[in-house]
Amino acid sequence: MDFPKFKAATVQTSPVFLNVEKTIDKAISLISEAAANGAKLIAFPEVFVAGYPYWNWIMTPVHGSAWYEKLYRNSVAADGPEMTRIFNAAREYNIQIVIGMNERGDSYGEIYNTNLIIDSNGNLIGKHRKLVPTWAEKLTWTSGDGSSLKVYKTEIGPIGTLACGENTNTLARFTLLSQGELIHIANYISLPVAPPDYNMAEAIKIRAAAHSFEGKLFTIVSCSTISQEIMDAMKADVPDAEELLTRKNSAFSGFIGPNGAVIGEPLIDEEGIVYAEIDLAKCIQPKQMHDILGHYNRFDIFDLRVNVTPRKNITFIDNNEDFFGR
């Protein structure tokens, strides 16, 4: 059985705030750089295209409502022409890409926090919509459904992904592990508005280490940063926005191995790309001790059922048919 070895890259940076085209330009530049350095996989932050709703945290819901419209206007379809440029870059540079985006829904109002999984042939092979927006995020995003809790087979190995706080959801993580996940992409945003005693960077690392140690797999973390551009944009409505959005230890990006330990030097708050050599064969031996998907579990006691049916907002029935379509 083949267990691939490859070089991976993860990005810690900010988007060009609420500007889809320029953010995609930036993403393609980073993809080109990572590929030139030998990477076969690159991970981007949560909702990198094209920004996070920080106004939810520092404005009242009424005050921040105008910003919601701005975000909606800068949300895009997962397979739309804007994202096609990313697909083409994956093919051109022969690299797998996982990238977060604001995905426009069908109601002219709903937005999903979505991660796209793109293979090295430029195919969109999957997307995951965040299941539950976290805390103030509920003012912006619609919840996803179980149909996107999938692991995708690629030439470098099986990839799964969860966005930000849902990496604390034990059942969601187990659902991915049970499908043979060996590469987990956990992407985040910098969140300096957390409670004063909350170390966001450390919390991100703990979550990633927990998933890697429990599942005996590699976790790749990509986190955004808050640029001066973002803070300046908020100042017109919140004069002390810069103070509210600036705090150390708010972003962590890096790699965690199957033993739960950090690989190499992660990025804390600083922007950049970091790399690691991934050898999926290292996921085998640790399972001899604790394989929660096999011998180290009791499925005669525990039974997890996952509804993977896509949610439908409406079902149309022809007047000439009865309820059962006859």
Residues 8-28 have pLDDT tens digits of 999 999 999 999 999 999 999
Catalytic residue among 46, 82, 103, 137: 46
Tokens for 64, please give them. 């921040």
The answer, yes or no, to whether residue 232 has pLDDT greater than 70, is: yes
**Active-site residue flag, 216:** no
Q: Give me the pLDDT at residue 178, please.
A: 98
- Within 10 angstroms of residue 2's Cβ, the number of other Cβ atoms is 7
Q: Give me the pLDDT at residue 321, please.
A: 62
Catalytic residue among 26, 40, 127, 130: 130
CA atoms within 13 A on the CB side of 241: 20
- Band the pLDDT of 173: cuts 50, 70, 90: very high
- Band the pLDDT of 323: cuts 50, 70, 90: low
d(CA 292, CA 210): 13
Nearest to 193 by CA among 254, 114, 260, 136: 136
282-314 pLDDT, tens digit per residue, is 999 999 999 999 999 999 999 999 999 999 888
Catalytic residue among 127, 164, 166, 223: 164
191-219 pLDDT, tens digit per residue, is 999 888 999 999 999 999 999 999 999 99
**Active-site residue flag, 155:** no
Mean pLDDT of the chain: 96
72-123 pLDDT, tens digit per residue, is 999 999 999 999 999 999 999 999 999 999 999 989 899 999 999 999 999 9
Task: Average the pLDDT over 236-254 and give the result.
Answer: 97
DSSP string for residues in 102-142? EEE-SSSS-EEEEEEEE-TTS-EEEEEE-SS--GGGGGTPP
140-149 pLDDT, tens digit per residue, is 999 999 999 9
The model's pTM: 0.96
3-state secondary structure 139-176: HCCCCCCHHHCCCEEECCEEEEEEEHHHHHCHHHHHHH
38-64 pLDDT, tens digit per residue, is 999 999 999 999 999 999 999 999 999
**Active-site residue flag, 164:** yes
The answer, yes or no, to whether residue 70 has pLDDT greater than 90, is: yes
Residue 298: φ, ψ to 5°: -130, 85
